[in-house]
Amino acid sequence: MRALGRHILVEFIGCSPELMNDVAHIEQAMVTAAKTAGATVIQSTFHHFSPYGVSGVVVIQESHLAIHTWPEYGYAAVDLFTCGDSVDPWISFDYLKKSFQAQNQSAIEMYRGSQSMLKRVEFNVAAERDDMAQRLSESFQRNVWFTDKDEHQALSLRYTGEVLFNEVTPFQQVRVLETYSHGKMLAINNMVMATEKDEAHYHEMIVHPAMQLHGSAKKVLVIGGGDGGTIREVFKYRVDTVTMVEIDEAVVRAAKAHLPTMSKEFSNPKLELLFADGIEYVKNVKPGSFDVIIVDGSDPVGPAEGLFSEEFFRNCAAALTDQGILVSQGEGPMFHETAFVEMHSCLNKIFGPEKAHTMLFYATTYPTGMWSLHFATKSALHPVADLNMAQAEKFSQDKDLHYYNSEIHRAAFQLPNFVRKMLSQK
């Protein structure tokens, strides 16, 4: 060979946009492309960026394969770089072309390290290199990362690269992945919804402050919450009925198949499960039907967008009894700040400033880790002053709760100054 390495710069055009946004597929394809060409794979590192795009590298003993995709253009920029005679990068090229369903492609091959420019110096590393290669090839490491982000910040979790559930429904993409640090994770449209390790923070906080303050809620409405974590907490009380209105049956199916600790109450006979649009549901519900309404929706993009509107909250307020309480997933003050502020201001307007409150808690797998719940009461009950602390503490102990206790309840309603300022601006 006239050069040390061969470098093919590839443009894959007209690829399947779905495949170009599927980090697990791309990682698998790149690793297989390397192996098919006869390369020894050492390590792969791949990241997905929400909403679109995947970047990754497969390090091979003979150099590397790298990619960056733009799903919205059906485009992938790929580098195939191999050294030595034993690996033919064009075999990887052919494999990827098929795997990405590319309609067009162009490629430029460059010879790297032209022998005419280089002078060999005496340096005998052959023995060590063979030994090292043997050891490395026995421990191929995959580094596949899921990233939940906006334009400026992100939270990433490393996962196995295996996708346990993956469906694009008429509403959204629903996936269950196996993370290394947080167990199985439900992701909707590339946003973390719940992980096995920290879901109790969210589900206990969206349920217990309202149920404890109310003290005798019998009829509860849950909007969203298809993973089952919220109803699991509600069924820790002596309720008569829980009505759950979930727009996407695939979320419930994914949870039943892969998230048993969250989904265990779906067989409860007191559950009325409706697959319908919660926004439409509350438009038509009889006034005064529910003691507690819990809005456990996704983020304010896609089908959950209407769950952040004034009309929706007005309908919820009407659907509550006179002692009723509303709680809604409220986004983070440092992530989706606008939605966070507007939702509070909306509840202020509908319920009155004395009756609209905000809670903060730790959500370790939501971007920034600081998450909120908005809380509003129809009655004059104050969520802290009127809490029966002894009863809340006893409940937390008796039920062996993971996050909620009486002190956490009180603390959750205390806000840092910067959050107070944000909320008083509207």
- Which residues form the catalytic set? 296
Cα dihedral across residues 304, 305, 308, 309: positive or negative: negative
If the CB atoms of residues 215 and 302 are measured against ligand SPD, the closer one turns out to be 302
Q: Give the nearer residue to ligand SPD in terms of CB position, either 161 or 297.
A: 297
Rounded least distance, CB 159 to ligand SPD, Å: 17
Q: 93, 81, 89: which is closest to 11 by C-alpha?
A: 93
Whether the CB-CB separation of 142 and 22 falls below 8 Å is answered with no
Given CA atoms 360, 362, 367, 373 in this order, what sign does their dihedral have? negative
Rounded to whole angstroms, how far apart are CA atoms 193 and 366? 8
DSSP run (H or E) holding 418: helix 417-424
Using left for φ > 0, alpha for ψ between -120 and 50, and beta otherwise, residue 133 falls in alpha
> Among residues 161 and 229, whose Cβ is nearest to ligand SPD?
229
Of 160, 194, 145, the C-alpha closest to 174 is 194
Q: What is the nearest approach in angstroms of ligand SPD to the Cβ of residue 323?
A: 25
Give the residue with the Cβ less far from ligand SPD, 37 or 177: 177
Nearer to ligand SPD, 27 or 148 (CB): 148
The residue type found at 353 is: P
Distance in angstroms (rounded) separating the CA atoms of residues 347 and 343: 6
Instruction: Tell me how far, at minimum, the Cβ of 193 lies from ligand SPD, in Å.
Output: 4
Could you tell me if 319 and 245 are in contact, meaning their C-beta atoms sit under 8 angstroms apart?
no
Q: Which is nearer to ligand SPD, 69 or 230 (CB)?
A: 230
When the beta carbons of 60 and 193 are compared against ligand SPD, the nearer one is: 193
Measured from each CB, the residue nearest to ligand SPD is 193
Residue 226 beta carbon to ligand SPD: minimum distance, rounded to whole angstroms = 7
Provide, rounded to whole angstroms, the least separation between the CB of residue 370 and ligand SPD. 12
- Where do runs of H (alpha helix) occur along 86-168? 89-99, 126-137
Q: Kind and range of the H or E element at 44?
A: strand 41-48
How far does CA 312 lie from the centroid of its chain?
24
Cα 218 from Cα 292, distance rounded (Å):
8
Residue keyed to tokens 């709680």: 327
Please report, as ranges, the residues that interact with ligand SPD according to CB under 6 A.
191-194, 202, 225, 227, 229-230, 296, 298-299, 329, 366
Q: How far is the CB of 184 from ligand SPD (least distance, A)?
A: 13
| CB of residue 329 to ligand SPD, shortest distance in Å | 4
Report the distance separating Cα 246 and Cα 251, nearest Å: 8
Three-class SS state of 217: coil
Q: Do 173 and 189 contact (CB within 8 A), yes or no?
A: yes
